[in-house]
Structure 1
Amino acid sequence: MPKSASARHTTLFSLLALAGILLFAANLRGPFTAAGAVLEVIQASLHIGAGQAGLLLTLPVLAFCVISPFAAPLARLYGLERVLFGALLIMIAGIAIRSTGSVWMLYTGTIILGGGIALGNTLVPSLLKRDYPNSFARLTGVYAITMGLGAAAASTIIVPLTLAFDWQVSLGSFILLPVISALVWWPRLKNNAAPEEAAEESVAAAPMWRSPVAWQVTLFFGCTSFNYYAFTAWLPSILVSQGYSQVEAGNMHGLLQLCTAVPGLLLPLLIAKAKDQRAIAAGLALSGFSGVVGLYLLPAYAVVWVMIFGIGMGGAFIMALMFIGLRTRHSRQTARLSGMTQSFGYMISACGPVTVGLAHDLTGAWLVPFILCGTLCLIVATLGLGAGRARYVDEG
């Protein structure tokens, strides 16, 4: 029996809504991580030091810390759809400003871009929890895969664009992503009401920071992100010190990024069959530990250890995003936990590349950074045993 016009319209709207979420995910990592591939070009063009150029990767993470706590209150005032649409407009403004060519506009635009990404990072899990409560884990996996693939694609195209034109054009080209996303997102603004609003009003909104479960999720996210960003930042230098060429190190860096997205395909299936996520979270962290130890002791098999680490820490990062929805009862609670997790979590992760670099500079070797990253993997495994329990943040 053919579908009615109303049913076809509903199906089309649902598909556009899901496409809008996935397009949104593609904006949340690539536009700022890709800048790392052309830092030397920017340095030479603007006559700035390595530390100043490194701010292009640090400033967005710091913006995540500052902006994330405000996301949930803004969503309560204006609705998820409107705030997320505003986040896309903020990203568009940030990308345009940072591409003008001056040092201060570069920094200013980067901070603005980071603010828009922070709103998206915090509120997209809440939107998934509200609109797809029965498919949250599966869609979070797809969302994480899209975010990772978007970052990989961004890193792939930025160097050729810079060589063909200049760094302003290559950084400015990323404006297409949020523009297209905003156009796809526009129809959602007509449906900005939160369906759970009446039910959520009856739920006591205890401060999230009083919940042990919330802190377990936050620290799991923060320590995982610390390891992920530190390892991502310094892996090429580590590999070169072990005898690999710059090209080989670059290829394995790309392999790492690809492997971090792979667990998004499998985690929803594992979660559906498990009574809780303790074994999964701890197992992923121990996989990361194996990668760290293996890379230090047997660097000749670096490609294997990089893959193991990428799957382990990438999976733990995706698991951390899933915990935000799995440990909450409704979308408003999800937004509050997401704000806490990503604010404190990214504050921890922002220290990763700097701490590892400082440890290497002080010791002149990579042993201490390896010990630090390996120890953090074990800490993440321990935190996973707590965050992975089948409990909600309001249960203690």
Structure 2
Amino acid sequence: MNRQSVASTHSGRALLVWALLVVAANLRAPLTGVGPVLDQIQADLDLSPAAAGLATTLPLLAFAALSPMVPRLTARRTPERVLAGALVVLAAGIALRWVPTALGLFAGTILIGAGIAVGNVLLPSLIKRDFPTRVGVLTAAYATVMGGVAAVASGIAVPLSQVAPGGWHIAIGCWLLLAVVGIVLWLPQMWATRPVSDVTRSIRLPWTSGLAWAVTAFMGLQSLGFYVVITWLPQILQDTGGITSAAAGWLLFLFQAVAVLTSLAVPAAMRRTADQRALAAISSAVLLAGYLGLLAAPGWALLWAVVLGLGGGACLVLALAFLGLRAQDAPGAGALSAMAQSIGYLLAAAGPVLFGLLHTVSSSWQAPLLVMCVAAAGQVIVAIMAGRGTVADKPWTPQPSDKPGSSEARHVSG
């Protein structure tokens, strides 16, 4: 199929890769920079602990609520235009959080969550469409950029809030510049011409597919583990390992740094295997070993932070890669991505809350960690199911926007 588009030339494809990576850089940093300065935000805006917690929970709820809507939006307005609009919404949300009121904080956070939700769903679909033979490599690249910038955001938030004249407003608002850069780099893609099937195909989410549910479960369980660790690992290490809060903070940074480095190695491992079953199962088992280590020998905190980073980084890349590898085409990847990320981030939003509640009820960390061990064991099982195969398409149903006789317009289902 001939395609006259920005992505059809070598320089155009290079620009597209850069644009995708800058978009990826925007998908976590506006969120991870909030946690380290949350105590400052709470004191400045006179928020209760529960209200302050919404600053980190609302985006995950937005991911869960909006992800299923993204395929329908792209079928009407093209992925390029929808993603451009999402970047504008993201930038508006970051700017709105400069308003020194609780309303500005929460309204901006909701807009940020909405913009990121669209990017989460569309990146796997766009990579599948424009780079179908390099899904693993580019998925690892954007996961690495996303995780690396997120780690930087969490690391510089407190120092920046202490030296910048705007305090925490600057610390969480400086990422507006990166969002603007993303918008500028993405603008050329809005005029790219795409095949009719890419822009007019009506899509159903594959709710009836067993393979789609396995991919969704893998995405959900690894997201659950990541957000539980990000939220509670420092407190667990302080209470059970006898280390200081500063040391616990550095170990959390170490966990993220190891995860980013591990994500770089995943594509090479994927190329050496016929499918991803063994790699996904082993990576999940490494996570299980980390939780068991925290449970049995919490004094070895450094080791378990590294182990969790190894397993977590690999599982994140695999979860994102599955969205493209298990789909037949780009619209199918978008539908699978919408389903998996909707359920996955719903689990991610509930996980830290339930983990903390179980700690409160049991007055120890043993019961919550046992639950994480069970979740990781379940992840090993679904990894074997999600590591190969394709979510099959069914014959398409004519839509008003479909061209008569087009054999490429089809619904996605299980």
Please state which band the TM-score falls in when normalised by the shorter chain.
over 0.9
Offset of residue 182 of structure 1: 0.6
Percent identity among equivalent residues? 37
| TM-score after normalising by structure 1 | 0.94
Look up the match of 1:183. 184
Offset of residue 197 of structure 1: 3.5
**2:168 alignment partner AA:** W
Offset of residue 51 of structure 1: 1.4
Name the CA distance, whole Å, in 2 between partners of 1:207 and 1:296. 38
**2:335 alignment partner AA:** R
Name the CA distance, whole Å, in 1 between partners of 2:100 and 2:186. 30
Question: Does the CA-based 8 Å contact 1:276-1:389 persist in structure 2?
Answer: yes
Name the CA distance, whole Å, in 2 between partners of 1:89 and 1:225. 26
Question: Does the CA-based 8 Å contact 2:328-2:390 persist in structure 1?
Answer: no
Look up the match of 2:79. 80
RMSD over equivalenced CA pairs, Å: 1.8
Offset of residue 173 of structure 1: 1.0
Name the CA distance, whole Å, in 1 between partners of 2:115 and 2:236. 33
Look up the match of 2:349. 350
**1:180 alignment partner AA:** V
- 122-131 vs 344-353, which deviates more? 344-353
Question: How many aligned positions are there?
Answer: 386
- 107-116 vs 47-56, which deviates more? 47-56
**1:176 alignment partner AA:** L
- 264-273 vs 224-233, which deviates more? 264-273
Look up the match of 2:175. 174
Offset of residue 130 of structure 1: 0.4
Q: CA offsets per residue over residues 243-274 of structure 1, 9 Å max, x none? A: 00111101000011112222321221121121
Aligned ranges 1:118-133 → 2 under 5 Å = 118-133=117-132
Look up the match of 2:291. 292
Question: Does the CA-based 8 Å contact 2:263-2:314 persist in structure 1?
Answer: yes
User: Is 2:26 the counterpart of 1:31?
Assistant: no
Identify if the C-alpha distance between structure 1 residues 266 and 196 changes in structure 2 by more than 3 Å, giving closer, same or farther: farther
**1:270 alignment partner AA:** A
Q: CA offsets per residue over residues 300-357 of structure 1, 9 Å max, x none? A: 2211111111111221121111110010011001111111111111111111110111
| TM-score after normalising by structure 2 | 0.90
Look up the match of 2:226. 228
- 321-330 vs 186-195, which deviates more? 186-195
**2:390 alignment partner AA:** R
Question: Does the CA-based 8 Å contact 2:280-2:315 persist in structure 1?
Answer: yes
Question: Does the CA-based 8 Å contact 1:82-1:192 persist in structure 2?
Answer: no
Aligned ranges 1:256-271 → 2 under 5 Å = 256-271=255-270
Identify if the C-alpha distance between structure 1 residues 175 and 205 changes in structure 2 by more than 3 Å, giving closer, same or farther: closer
- 53-62 vs 184-193, which deviates more? 184-193
Look up the match of 1:112. 111
Name the CA distance, whole Å, in 1 between partners of 2:154 and 2:335. 32
Structure 1 consecutive aligned stretches of length 4 or more whose deviation exceeds 6 Å? none
Q: CA offsets per residue over residues 361-386 of structure 1, 9 Å max, x none? A: 11111001110111110000001011
Q: CA offsets per residue over residues 28-54 of structure 1, 9 Å max, x none? A: 011112100100001111111211111
Name the CA distance, whole Å, in 1 between partners of 2:351 and 2:366. 16
**1:42 alignment partner AA:** I
Q: Is the helix fraction higher in 1 or 2? A: 1
Question: Does the CA-based 8 Å contact 1:126-1:335 persist in structure 2?
Answer: yes
Offset of residue 121 of structure 1: 0.3
- Structure 1: any 5+ residue segments left out of the alignment? 1-6
Offset of residue 205 of structure 1: 5.7
**1:189 alignment partner AA:** M
**1:368 alignment partner AA:** A
Offset of residue 14 of structure 1: 2.0
Look up the match of 1:243. 242
Offset of residue 206 of structure 1: 6.2
Question: Does the CA-based 8 Å contact 2:227-2:348 persist in structure 1?
Answer: yes
Give the match's secondary structure for 2:207. helix
Question: Does the CA-based 8 Å contact 2:90-2:115 persist in structure 1?
Answer: yes
Question: Does the CA-based 8 Å contact 1:32-1:57 persist in structure 2?
Answer: yes
Question: Does the CA-based 8 Å contact 2:211-2:389 persist in structure 1?
Answer: no
Aligned ranges 1:129-208 → 2 under 5 Å = 129-164=128-163, 165=165, 166-194=167-195, 197=198, 207-208=205-206
